[in-house]
């Protein structure tokens, strides 16, 4: 499953209005609601990109770029929503990426929500003593009050993480690997479909 | 099993942290090590599990022998910060991580996961992400992830910090079982609690030396004398609070992501009162106080401060009326000296606080550290700076969220007398805590939250023995909570 989405994401071709149709049919997997909720974050970003490209280039480029960005984000959203971090990690291992790199990736993913929590805590603590951190232009100077504690706490966390891994024998030789989610016929056929679409679009582009 | 003779250690660039430790550990022991912040107790743990000298640099001197024929992890360590300890995406993978490191075959790994999860009663958590667990559950998983490696000595660094009485009870009974089944247990703590009674031996460290090594029953005197059990000051007679309410909460409800966090809460806080909000972790205490300064907005109901609605006012503007100080001081440090740090909030909203600043520095004993970097302070000093940065805004109501977590007895004593002093100056104080001893020493009135509901409001003396509250788990009897009544 994961692989199909990866293939989709690697396809930033132009004129992908058709792609939108596929993408909007995918949330039918039952994650439409969650997608709509996270649109609150995606839309302003895309809006910003649109305005910037509109100012520097023209409407057409801006529009195309925004659509492409939306596609890209939706697809990666679906990827991370549908498959667990370890599944993606295992797939990366299967592709042939060394364990240590895959481990960095999975651990980083694991800490995304925690860092999010930390950001909220820091913002609460700072606004409670008068340092306004709401996203307004006049508050821009205050953001150092968010960044500094966040950076320092992340360093401390990574230190503690290293200790935790060390005490449980990370880096010892002869590590055994449990449970490789084996690829089933379904995975292979989905990969084939993904590849088929990719070729189809490439051919349609050039032809 | 383990013998240490005259062990001395210092981290790179610091003075001696351990100054000659003699210690031997026999089989089948349950040892508690108490010490205040910076007394070298965590460092002692690092030496026992080999992180010193293999992971940390620095200078290690002395003699250390570990006699055990067993395989790799003779000593297993459960760290204080469970967020760092638990780095996998599910509990099952968490437990498997160490076993995979040992290179065990898959069938053996599966067998051990099953065995350990049944032993610690966490079978139904296996599929969940460690992020979604409660504090007590996280601690259990952390213990499982180490214990499955079958160490002969299990070291736990402050396993009870951050836990409420419910979590403490869970972890306590598991540690007791582990010890009975033949694993040595060594608990490093700074807060003395009922778990002391489970131990077979008690060790007290101070300034890098062991100053007591004996049975828990005999440790009482020395724990008191070293302020590990705080001697809370006797409070001056309660000042009759004025009758005009400073803060009124009317039928407040709060929902977040379709979950009801607070349900129909009403109460009033009068000018000059000291009130403690008591409850287990997750009872809604922090969500409640965040409503008062606008960090969260109620879904239903009203809030009045000095007769005016709080609704619609920005949090940073409210800071001059209502100060809220959170648990972790590291969340707010960003300046390179203490003075700027304390004044940062006041400067951001353009308030002149020169006079208040000097008074506050006096009360909090900060004059000697004003030029230091806030990151280089001790835990107690950090907390004092964080509190000062809220008090310097001269708010009329100050809310302290879990002020005693991670603080040693000496600091808790100091904070109690400090709050008493501020109270006599007419400040209204709200303390959010699950540290009942501290709440008993500081507050005139308790408000008890349970499952998002306000279920009791009254005098501490009466509430702490209330049969109903104890039965539903919203309260714990002082005898069970405190460690020193034998």
Kindly state the helix (H) or strand (E) to which residue B2 belongs, with its residue range: strand B2-10
Q: Quick one: pLDDT at residue B276?
A: 95
Q: Is residue B485 predicted with pLDDT exceeding 60?
A: no
Dihedral angle sign, alpha carbons of residues B209, B415, B229, B375: negative
Cα–Cα distance for residue pair B213/B252, rounded to 1 Å: 52
**Which chain A residue shows the shortest CA-CA distance from B97?**
A168
Where is mean pLDDT largest: A102-111, B199-208, B476-485? B199-208
**Which chain A residue shows the shortest CA-CA distance from B395?**
A129
Eight-class DSSP state of B451: T
The answer to whether residue A33 sits within a structural domain is yes
**Which chain B residue shows the shortest CA-CA distance from A156?**
B84
Average pLDDT over residues B15-20: 91
Unique residue bearing structure tokens 């007591």:
B212
Q: Is residue B31 predicted with pLDDT exceeding 60?
A: yes
Size of interface A-B (CB pairs under 8 A): 167
Residues of B in contact with A173 (CB under 8 A): 103
pLDDT band at A179 (very low <50, low <70, confident <90, very high): low
Average pLDDT over residues B267-278: 92
Work out the mean pLDDT of chain B and round it to a whole number. Answer: 88
Of B100, B330, B389, which is closest to A176 when you measure between CB atoms?
A: B100
Q: Quick one: pLDDT at residue A1?
A: 46
Question: Could you tell me if B98 and B145 are in contact, meaning their C-beta atoms sit under 8 angstroms apart?
Answer: yes
Question: Could you tell me if B47 and B420 are in contact, meaning their C-beta atoms sit under 8 angstroms apart?
Answer: no
Task: Report the range of poorest mean pLDDT among B143-147, B208-212, B358-362.
Answer: B358-362
Task: Note the pLDDT tens digit of each residue in A23-53.
Answer: 555 555 555 556 666 666 677 777 887 888 8
Better pLDDT: B74 or B263? B263
Choose the final residue of a domain: A34, A55, A83: A83
Taking the CA of residue A155 and the nearest CA in chain B, the distance in Å comes to 12
Q: Is residue B282 predicted with pLDDT exceeding 70?
A: yes
How many domains, chain A? 2
| Superfamily the domain B2-225 falls into | P-loop containing nucleotide triphosphate hydrolases (3.40.50.300)
Q: Quick one: pLDDT at residue A6?
A: 45
Q: Quick one: pLDDT at residue B212?
A: 94
Domain that holds residue A124: 86-170
Average pLDDT over residues B145-173: 91
**Which chain A residue shows the shortest CA-CA distance from B324?**
A128
Percentage, residues of chain B above pLDDT 90: 44
- Establish if A157 touches chain B: CB-CB under 8 angstroms: yes
Kindly state the helix (H) or strand (E) to which residue B184 belongs, with its residue range: strand B184-189
Same domain, yes or no: A3 and A41: yes
Q: Quick one: pLDDT at residue B203?
A: 95
Same fold, B2-225 and B245-321+395-481: yes
Contact B334 A147 (CB under 8 A): yes
Q: Quick one: pLDDT at residue A9?
A: 43
Q: Quick one: pLDDT at residue B72?
A: 62
SS3 B405: coil
Average pLDDT over residues B336-341: 91
Work out the mean pLDDT of chain A and round it to a whole number. Answer: 74
The answer to whether residue A37 sits within a structural domain is yes
Average pLDDT over residues B329-348: 90
Q: Quick one: pLDDT at residue A7?
A: 46
Q: Quick one: pLDDT at residue B251?
A: 94
Taking only residues 3 to 62 of chain A, the set having a beta carbon closer than 8 angstroms to any beta carbon of chain B reads: none
Average pLDDT over residues B349-377: 87
Cα–Cα distance for residue pair B210/B22, rounded to 1 Å: 8
Task: Report the range of poorest mean pLDDT among A132-136, B384-388, B443-447.
Answer: A132-136
Contact A110 B389 (CB under 8 A): no
pLDDT band at B289 (very low <50, low <70, confident <90, very high): very high
Testing the interface with A: which of B93, B348, B383 to mutate, by most A Cβ within 10 A?
Answer: B348
Question: Could you tell me if B97 and B141 are in contact, meaning their C-beta atoms sit under 8 angstroms apart?
Answer: no
SS3 A93: helix
Q: Quick one: pLDDT at residue A198?
A: 72
pLDDT band at B88 (very low <50, low <70, confident <90, very high): confident
Better pLDDT: A123 or B311? A123
Q: Is residue B103 predicted with pLDDT exceeding 50?
A: yes
- Establish if A205 touches chain B: CB-CB under 8 angstroms: no
Q: Is residue B114 predicted with pLDDT exceeding 70?
A: yes
Of B85, B104, B332, which is closest to A129 when you measure between CB atoms?
A: B332
Q: Phi/psi at B367 (nearest 5 deg)?
A: -55, -35
Same domain, yes or no: A94 and A23: no
Contact B51 A166 (CB under 8 A): yes
Q: Quick one: pLDDT at residue B240?
A: 58
Question: Could you tell me if B343 and B375 are in contact, meaning their C-beta atoms sit under 8 angstroms apart?
Answer: no
Better pLDDT: B203 or A84? B203
Eight-class DSSP state of B444: S
- Establish if B350 touches chain A: CB-CB under 8 angstroms: no
Same domain, yes or no: A42 and A25: yes
Q: Quick one: pLDDT at residue B5?
A: 92
Task: Spell out the domain ranges in chain B.
Answer: 2-225, 245-321+395-481
SS3 B309: strand
Question: Domain B245-321+395-481 has what CATH class?
Answer: alpha beta
Q: Is residue A206 predicted with pLDDT exceeding 90?
A: no
Question: Could you tell me if B294 and B310 are in contact, meaning their C-beta atoms sit under 8 angstroms apart?
Answer: yes
Question: Could you tell me if B470 and B281 are in contact, meaning their C-beta atoms sit under 8 angstroms apart?
Answer: no
Residues of A in contact with B51 (CB under 8 A): 163, 166-167
pLDDT band at B33 (very low <50, low <70, confident <90, very high): very high
Average pLDDT over residues B11-31: 90
Same domain, yes or no: A65 and A101: no
Cα–Cα distance for residue pair B2/B130, rounded to 1 Å: 33
**Which chain A residue shows the shortest CA-CA distance from B292?**
A128
Sheet holding B453-458, edge to edge: B322-325, B397-401, B428-433, B274-278, B445-450, B453-458
The answer to whether residue A133 sits within a structural domain is yes
pLDDT band at B112 (very low <50, low <70, confident <90, very high): very high
Contact A149 B97 (CB under 8 A): no
Q: Is residue A12 predicted with pLDDT exceeding 70?
A: no
Q: Is residue B69 predicted with pLDDT exceeding 60?
A: no
The answer to whether residue A192 sits within a structural domain is no
ipTM of the complex: 0.86
Q: Which residues of B35-71 are buried (b: 16+ CB within 10 A; e: fewer)?
A: bbbbbbbbbbbbbbbbbbeeeeeeeeeeebebeeeee
Contacts of B242 (CB under 8 A, 6+ apart): B270, B271, B272
- Establish if B87 touches chain A: CB-CB under 8 angstroms: yes
Question: Could you tell me if B280 and B433 are in contact, meaning their C-beta atoms sit under 8 angstroms apart?
Answer: no
Q: Quick one: pLDDT at residue A46?
A: 79
| B177's tokens | 């079982």
| B94's tokens | 């968490």
Cα–Cα distance for residue pair B385/B380, rounded to 1 Å: 9
Taking only residues 65 to 124 of chain A, the set having a beta carbon closer than 8 angstroms to any beta carbon of chain B reads: 84-86, 106-107, 109-111, 113-114, 118, 121-122, 124
- Measure CA A163 to chain center: 28
Cα–Cα distance for residue pair A77/A86, rounded to 1 Å: 16
Q: Is residue B236 predicted with pLDDT exceeding 80?
A: no
Better pLDDT: B233 or B467? B467
Q: Quick one: pLDDT at residue A3?
A: 46
**Which chain B residue shows the shortest CA-CA distance from A151?**
B334
Contact B334 A149 (CB under 8 A): yes
Choose the final residue of a domain: A83, A114, A146: A83
Cα–Cα distance for residue pair A23/B179, rounded to 1 Å: 56
Q: Quick one: pLDDT at residue B480?
A: 76
Helix axes A99-128, A85-95, angle to 10 degrees: 150
User: Which residues sit opposite B449 in a β-bridge?
Assistant: B454
Residues of B in contact with A142 (CB under 8 A): 348
SS3 B204: strand
Question: Could you tell me if B361 and B367 are in contact, meaning their C-beta atoms sit under 8 angstroms apart?
Answer: yes
């Amino acid at each position: 499953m994961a692989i199909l989405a990866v293939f989709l994401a690697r396809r930033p071709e132009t004129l992908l209005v058709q792609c939108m149709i596929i993408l909007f049919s995918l949330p039918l997997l039952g994650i439409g609601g969650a997608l709509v909720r996270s649109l609150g974050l995606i839309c302003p970003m895309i809006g910003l990109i649109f305005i910037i490209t509109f100012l520097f280039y023209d409407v057409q480029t801006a529009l195309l770029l925004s659509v492409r960005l939306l596609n890209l984000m939706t697809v990666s959203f679906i990827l991370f929503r549908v498959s667990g971090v370890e599944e993606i990690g295992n797939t990366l291992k299967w592709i042939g990426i060394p364990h240590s790199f895959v481990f960095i990736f999975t651990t980083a993913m694991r800490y995304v929500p925690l860092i999010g929590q930390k950001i909220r805590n820091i913002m609460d603590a700072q606004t409670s003593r008068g340092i306004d951190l709401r996203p307004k232009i006049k508050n821009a100077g205050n953001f150092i009050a968010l960044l500094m504690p966040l950076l320092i706490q992340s360093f401390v966390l990574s230190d503690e993480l290293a200790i935790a891994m060390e005490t449980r024998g990370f880096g010892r030789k002869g590590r055994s690997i449990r449970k490789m989610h084996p690829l089933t016929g379904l995975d292979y056929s989905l990969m084939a479909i993904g590849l088929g679409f990719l070729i189809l679009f490439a051919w349609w582009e050039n032809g | 099993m383990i013998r240490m003779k005259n062990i001395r250690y210092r981290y790179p660039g610091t003075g001696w942290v351990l100054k000659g430790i003699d210690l031997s550990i026999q089989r089948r022991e349950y040892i508690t090590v108490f010490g205040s912040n910076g007394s070298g107790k965590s460092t002692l743990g690092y030496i026992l599990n080999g992180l010193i000298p293999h992971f940390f640099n620095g200078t290690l001197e002395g003699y250390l022998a570990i006699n055990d024929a067993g395989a790799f992890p003779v000593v297993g360590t459960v760290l204080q910060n469970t967020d760092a300890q638990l780095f996998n995406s599910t509990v099952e993978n968490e437990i498997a991580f160490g076993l995979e490191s040992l290179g065990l075959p898959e069938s053996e790994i599966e067998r051990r996961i099953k065995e350990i999860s049944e032993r610690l009663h966490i079978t139904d958590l296996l599929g969940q992400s460690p992020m979604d667990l409660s504090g007590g559950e996280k601690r259990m998983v952390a213990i499982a992830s180490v214990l499955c490696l079958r160490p002969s000595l299990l070291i736990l660094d402050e396993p009870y910090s951050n836990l409420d009485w419910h979590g403490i009870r869970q972890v306590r009974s598991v540690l007791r079982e582990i010890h009975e089944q033949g694993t040595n247990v060594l608990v490093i703590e700074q807060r003395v609690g009922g778990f002391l009674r489970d131990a077979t031996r008690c060790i007290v460290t101070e300034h890098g030396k062991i100053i007591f090594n004996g049975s828990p029953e005999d440790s009482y005197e020395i724990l008191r004398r070293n302020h590990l059990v705080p001697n809370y000051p006797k409070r001056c007679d309660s000042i009759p609070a004025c009758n005009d309410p400073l803060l009124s909460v009317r039928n407040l409800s709060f929902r977040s992501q379709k979950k009801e966090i607070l349900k129909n809460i009403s109460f009033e806080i009068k000018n000059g009162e000291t009130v403690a909000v008591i409850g287990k972790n997750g009872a809604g205490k922090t969500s409640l106080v965040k409503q008062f300064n606008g960090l969260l907005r109620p879904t239903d109901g009203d809030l009045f401060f000095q007769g005016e609605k709080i609704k619609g006012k920005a949090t940073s503007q409210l800071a001059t009326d209502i100060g809220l100080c959170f648990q972790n001081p590291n969340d707010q440090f960003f300046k390179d000296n203490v003075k700027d740090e304390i004044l940062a909030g006041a400067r951001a909203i353009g308030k002149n606080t020169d006079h208040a600043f000097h008074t506050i520095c006096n009360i909090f004993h900060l004059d000697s550290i004003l030029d230091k970097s806030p990151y280089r302070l001790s835990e107690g000093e950090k907390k004092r700076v964080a509190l000062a940065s809220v008090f310097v805004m001269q708010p009329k109501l100050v809310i302290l969220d879990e002020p005693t977590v991670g603080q040693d007895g000496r600091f808790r004593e100091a904070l109690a007398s400090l709050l008493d002093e501020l109270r006599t100056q007419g400040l209204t104080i709200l303390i959010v805590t699950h540290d009942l001893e501290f709440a008993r020493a500081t507050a005139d009135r308790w408000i008890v939250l349970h499952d998002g509901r306000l279920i009791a409001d009254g005098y501490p003396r009466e509430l702490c023995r209330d049969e109903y509250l104890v039965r539903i788990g919203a309260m714990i009897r002082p005898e069970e909570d405190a460690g020193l009544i034998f």
